[in-house]
Structure 1
Amino acid sequence: MPLQNRVQPTGEIIAHPARGQFMGNRGVLHDSDQRLGKARWRHKAWVTCVLSFKNRRRALMSPRRYTELFFLDEAVAFAAGHRPCGECRRADYNRFRTAAGITTPIAAYDSMLHAQRVVPRRYEHLRYTADIAELPDGAFILSESGAAHLAWGDALLPYSPSGYGPPIRRPAQGSVTVLTPKPLVDVLHAGYALQVAQP
């Protein structure tokens, strides 16, 4: 039975057998029976990590250890509000800091990002509207049917936990609901290159 640790672009955390390309951390979200409670974060430093680092081994959802979350790719991690880890992804972390214009300790940025990605006390992710023409590659939007799509070139890629579906032509303009938090969309505009699963 898959654990409930697969993060979606909408911010939902579901049970799904596919692990994905990246792991994430928001603190301890599970109980001794490996079940998620109501909380969806315990701190503001939401990071995205590589799956293998210095031969470290972890038993998933161990008692009192952080909950290992998984993402299809980095675009999904961004949509969910995660940034690169400063330890296991140092080069990506440094590229991220440069694109975000961060010159102070990362905690200040994490606090600012947190305020623009979640609804306080409701464990929900913030969404906003923008013109699709102004969105960079790598941003996620919500279609009118409620499905998540990745903006990529002149296409929208329908998301599923197993990967992306056949591309749909991206409209030239029009207001859309954006899932990727605004500060991370700004990082994409500044040239940060995401690691995206092959469509």
Structure 2
Amino acid sequence: MIQRPRRNRVTPFGDIVATMHRGTLMGNRGDLHAPDGTVCRPWKLQRWISCTLLHSPAGHRVTFDTPGCYTPLFFADEVTALAAGHRPCASCRRPAYDAFRDGWQVAFGNKPSAVEMDDILHDARIDARGHKRTFVAPLGEVPDGVFVVGERSPTTAFLVRAGGLYPWSHAGYGKPVYDVSRHRPVSVITPAPIVGILKARPINCLTP
């Protein structure tokens, strides 16, 4: 019998979907389970983090489909987790967490606590109706490591990297598009505070 994939993979839009593709990072938004063990809510806690695949909160085993336990989520890579609004875990990814906070200080002039960052990030990634919050900016002002969408492909996330736009999928990135004006307005789906951090610190500084 072929086992169906669990609904626990996260897209750059922050959506939780089911796919056979594996992730390179694990994440947490609290207990998202319904009584029958299925995922029934997009988040419970404002502390959205990205962890190593071996990490488990408070040293507990990673559990699946278990109400009352946190729901393990998975990301294709670091930039996908950041676009969804997850910051690095201060426990299992301390160097990345420290780099994230340092970038916050460079970008915004203060070095907040984890709780303060989580409060600000939550407001930046979700609007009052619970929808993904985006903003518009000229493509030339968007740093590497950020995801955008265009008017012609509103359901496809493109990673900005080295002057190209790379279409995202769970299976990997497609061929980049280069013939896009740097003045063209794009809808940015990576939360604004994280975009500010990536302007202050290159993405490789957040993935030690």
Q: 1:195/1:27 Cα in 2 relative to 1: closer, same or farther (>3 Å)? A: farther
- SS of residue paired to 2:27: strand
Residues 1:2 and 2:5 are matched in the alignment: yes
Residues 1:58 and 2:58 are matched in the alignment: no
Note the C-alpha offset of 1:192.
4.3
Match of residue 20, structure 2, among 17, 34, 55: 17
- SS of residue paired to 1:48: strand
Q: 1:42/1:157 Cα in 2 relative to 1: closer, same or farther (>3 Å)? A: same
Where structure 1 has 5 or more consecutive residues not aligned to the other structure, the ranges are none
Paired position in structure 2 for 1:151: 160
The correspondence of residues 22-171 of structure 1 with structure 2, limited to 5 A, is 22-37=25-40, 39-53=41-55, 57-101=61-105, 102-120=110-128, 122-143=129-150, 144-146=152-154, 147-169=156-178, 171=180
Note the C-alpha offset of 1:8.
0.5
Q: 1:194/1:114 Cα in 2 relative to 1: closer, same or farther (>3 Å)? A: farther
When normalised by structure 1's length, the TM-score is 0.90
Note the C-alpha offset of 1:32.
3.8
* Residues paired across the two proteins, number: 194
When normalised by structure 2's length, the TM-score is 0.87
Note the C-alpha offset of 1:12.
1.3
CA distance in 2, matches of 1:45, 1:56: 18
> Once the two structures are superposed, what CA deviation does each residue of 1:38-87 show, in whole Å capped at 9, x if it has no partner?
x2111111100010249974232323111111111011111100100000
- SS of residue paired to 2:203: coil
Q: Which amino acid aligns with 1:35?
A: T
More helix by share: 2
RMSD, aligned α-carbons: 1.9
Match of residue 190, structure 2, among 180, 187, 192: 180
Where structure 2 has 5 or more consecutive residues not aligned to the other structure, the ranges are none
Task: Tell me, yes or no, if the aligned pair for 2:63 and 2:71 is still in contact at 8 Å.
Answer: no
CA distance in 2, matches of 1:36, 1:53: 21
- Identity of counterpart residues, as a percentage? 38
Q: Which amino acid aligns with 1:87?
A: S
